Amino acid sequence: MSKSIKLAILGLGTVGTGVLRLLEDNLAELKRRSGHDIIITEVGTRRQRDDINPSIQQNSDLMAIAASDNVDIVIEVMGGQTVAKDVIIHAIKQGKHVVTANKALLAEHGNEIFALAEKHHVHVAYEAAVAGGIPIIKVLREALAANNIEWLTGIINGTGNFIMTEMRDKGRDFDDVLHEAQALGYAEADPTFDVEGIDAAHKLALLASIAFGIPLQFDKVYCEGITDITLQDVTYAEELGYRIKHLGFAVRRYDTANGDSLDMPSLAQTATGIELRVHPTLIPENALLANVNGVKNAVLVNSHPLGQTLYYGDGAGAGATASAVMADVMDLIRVLTATNHGHHVPHLAFMPDALADTPILAIDHIVTGYYLRLQADDTPGVLAGVTGILSEAGINIDAILQKPVHQKGQVPIIILTLPVVESQMNVAINKIEALAAIHSKVVRIRLHDLT
């Protein structure tokens, strides 16, 4: 039996307006898919807009909207953490289902919000919080539910990917590309969340919880941005057959002493810890992720028995995010209208009382290869001194590139190493930087073979 499902949109910025327009454009198709009329009854906006259908109530009192009897599902797309958190909690306590695109709020307060939703028997859906229109939340929670997910990695911030792509393709400096990204609306006036990896870390915390069945732990994600990446590093990486991408990694670690491989361990093994990290990474130029360019996002997942799968698409923008928001709305409509109200997929994919306490590993324990760039005096014996330190630390060298570019009698030396525990590399770098012939800090970029 058909019924009317009433929605409220809180926030009419780019995403909120996109949801509104998507509903107007696809209303007939949405009814065909759901079997019900979908109606926007209220919108939360600070100012009255004359481009909104007059049948929709415009209201600046968000708490009143969240408690309204004329609303079944609350869509929060205004961002921020203070007001958004208060409104979402109020809506949950009023028995309303919630759809949100707010990755920062969920990454930092999701454990509290999801527990409250369980208590009040409502659902908080958040597909739009990670990777825009790519349905990666649904994939991890549902499509891969029978799989044991071992690791995932991906480009989950379009702004950073745009900057790295422009630096590589057009030989532009970081600051130059950042200014263009701001002019195009890809980056905010304060781009810190994007370029320092905080936005990606928020998303990675969510993905890891769903993949591994652990509580949200944003505060334990190692986060390193791209602001120190130079055109010089991008160029040298290309010469060596690599590209630099700003990646997030969530990895079950079984034996931190056994190399860089992220391949599947024996199913009989128990994970000793989980790596959660966001940082610039060298990957082979023929790797799938190396060829994800511009503002696109992509997530590579390795699971058993399926193996590797790649999910690619627009990671932001009105259309992509509105698509994800409405996918969540459609799921909740099925919950609201089911004749037998069965249990919905748990918020973090695993039953709340079955979340694991697997520890999050400190960055010192990870195992990767490394790209090292040194600025050294152009004198005999310098390279031998550097390689000797690496050898003493048990670090094997994969490649060395010494450039004939002189600057005040100095030359750049680029070294690629085989995988090693990061703590060993830290010791070696400290010793290298202490050499009189080495000038400035050693540039270190982690390296993974994702082919």
| Dihedral angle, C-alpha 404, 405, 406, 410, nearest 10 ° | -80
- The DSSP annotation for 404-441 comes to ---BTTEEEEEEEEEEEEHHHHHHHHHHHHTSTTEEEE
The residue among 76, 68, 61, 66 whose CA lies nearest residue 11 is 76
Helices (H) and strands (E) in the chain, counts: 13, 16
Read off the DSSP letter of residue 361. Answer: P
Q: Are 401 and 446 in contact (CB under 8 A)?
A: no
Q: What is the C-alpha radius of gyration for the chain, rounded to an integer number of angstroms?
A: 24
Amino acid at the residue 107: A
Tokens of 401: 């590139």
Active site residues: 203
Is 124:113 a contact under the CB 8 Å cutoff? yes
Evaluate the omega torsion of the peptide bond into residue 412 and state whether it is cis, within 30 degrees of 0: no
185 — alpha (psi -120 to 50), left (phi > 0) or beta? left
131: left (phi over 0), alpha (psi -120 to 50) or beta: left
Alpha carbons within 13 A on the beta-carbon side of 413? 24
- Collapse the DSSP code of 253 into the 3-class scheme (helix H, G, I; strand E, B; otherwise coil) and give the result: strand
Q: How far apart are the first and last CA of the chain?
A: 51
Assign 316 to helix, strand or coil.
coil
> SS3 helix, strand, coil % of the chain, rounded to 5?
40, 25, 35
